[in-house]
Amino acid sequence: MALMPKRVKYRKSQRGKMRGNATRTNYVAFGEFGLQSLETKWVTGRQIEAGRVAASHFLERVGRVYIRIFPHKSITKKPLETRMGKGKAEVEQWVACVRPGTVMFEIGGVAENVAKRALARVAHKMPVKCRFVSRRHTIG
Amino acid sequence: MVAKELVLKAELRKKLGSKHSAKVRQSGKIPAVVYGHGQEPEMLSLDEHDFVEGLHHGHRLFDVQFEGKTEKLLVKDIQYDHLGKKIIHTDLIRVDLTERVEVEAPLIFKGTPAGSHEGGLLEEHLDHLEIECTVTEIPEAIDVSVKHLGIGDSIHARDIKLPDGIKLITDPDALLISCRLPAVTAAAPAEEAAEEGEEPTSPEVITERKPKEGEEESEK
């Protein structure tokens, strides 16, 4: 089942713009390795679910997969061969707004080579170019 | 521990602001700020290659030459770009060699835990420790062996044996790493539901008006 919110204030939302780079969710926080987006795009709930399934299927219940994005935004679409107007269409899908730098998935509890292969499979399911990142120790 | 001091040449930045900082970065340098010891802060630009090389070799303390003087500076903070690849700015703090400072030392967990052979999952909860030590004693990293960890075992901050002269600042009860059996993932029921063919329902709308009983009757 694709991800979607349980409760929302308004059913339909405006499309908005996605400017700039990720200023949050832009580092590996929970696992040891992550999949970072290099592009700006909407990632649908179905794509996130497909990524999760691909990772958990590859890992065979070893390690842990963290999903760092959630589709909060509803996208509407008019049916085919419909005339324009008559108000905003019905919700078709839910998407997460992903900017360059967003860490979308994380994996912990497995070796680096395993995590790399698992996240490569996830990257195939994503609509954006991705790169593999590992946790960076802080200096301070 | 590594040789702690590295000499870097720096230039004083006279033009400040994001536009001028971007130009500094384009010329292969990193904007930096120096502060501490009650003196006026100074804006510098460091050579990117030398600084990054130094960091990769575990240096935290630098002898920075600028304006005809040399100061001992400790890396206080580093800012990265949005991809976490490139250093865009660094904070350097003035220190004396005898001074005690609070720093974060990264933890490196080594070995394969005994519990992993029984299906245990190693979970890292904290990847650094806050410590207080003299400037010359700052460890590059703290190695922690996890070989003895069985299922249900954990390592707390108090279990880490620190060298003499290093004081732990992190809460001693803080959990660093644990080994446990993997829990049944929360997504498993979702898979089952999908197999059963249940269609996803739309979310509950908080602001939606619900028809009152009286209204329904009047409509009828």
**Is any Cβ of chain B less than 8 angstroms from the Cβ of A40?**
no
CATH number at residue A119: 3.90.1170.10
Q: Name which of A6, A36, A100 is nearest B204 (Cβ-Cβ).
A: A6
Q: Which domain holds residue A47?
A: 33-79+87-134
Q: With beta carbons under 8 A apart, name residues in chain B contacting A64.
A: 121, 123, 182
- pLDDT at position A63 over 90: no
Would you call B206 and A137 a contact, using CB atoms and an 8 Å cutoff? no
Is any Cβ of chain A less than 8 angstroms from the Cβ of B97? no
Residue A61 lies in a domain: yes
Determine contact: A19 vs chain B, CB below 8 A. Answer: no
* Confidence at residue B181, expressed as pLDDT on a 0 to 100 scale: 83
Going B14 to B19 to B23 to B28, the CA torsion angle's sign is: positive
Predicted confidence at residue B99, as pLDDT, reads 87
Chain A residues closer than 8 Å to B128 by CB:
137-138
| Same topology between domain B5-95 and domain B103-180 | no
Say if B143 is an interface residue toward chain A (CB within 8 Å): no
Residue B33 Cα distances to A5, B20, B36, B83, B90, angstroms = 44, 14, 10, 22, 7
- C-alpha span between B65 and B10 (Å, rounded): 6
Domain contains A126: yes
Tens-digit pLDDT profile for residues A108-119 = 888 899 999 999
What CATH number should be reported for the domain whose range is B5-95?
A: 2.40.240.10
Cβ–Cβ < 8 Å for B130, B102: yes
Closest CA to A58 of A102, A113, A4, A104: A113
How many domains is chain A built from?
Answer: 1
First vs last C-alpha separation in chain B: 84
Helix (H, G, I), strand (E, B) or coil at A97: strand
pLDDT digits (tens, 9 = 90+) for B100-110: 989 888 888 88
Class of domain B103-180: mainly beta
The CA distance from A10 to the nearest CA of chain B, in Å, is 6
Output the pLDDT for position B124.
Answer: 85
| Cβ burial B115-151 (10 Å sphere, 16+ → b, else e) | bbeeebbbbbebbbbbbebebebbbeebebebeebeb
Interface test with A, best of B60, B121, B140 (most A CBs within 10 A): B121
Calculate what percentage of chain B has a pLDDT beyond 70.
86
Instruction: Give the number of other Cβ atoms within 10 Å of residue B157's Cβ.
Output: 19
Is the confidence at residue B89, as pLDDT, over 90?
A: yes
Q: What is the pLDDT of residues A12-25, one digit of tens each?
A: 999 999 999 999 99
The CA distance from B176 to B145, in Å, is 12
Nearest to B64 by CA among B47, B84, B83: B47
- The total of other beta-carbon atoms located within 10 Å of residue B208's CB is 10
Average confidence (pLDDT) over A75-99: 95
Q: Is residue A1 part of a domain?
A: no
In this predicted structure, the answer to whether residue B215 has a pLDDT above a threshold of 70 is: no
Locate A44 and state its tokens.
């649908």
Domain residue spans of chain B = 5-95, 103-180
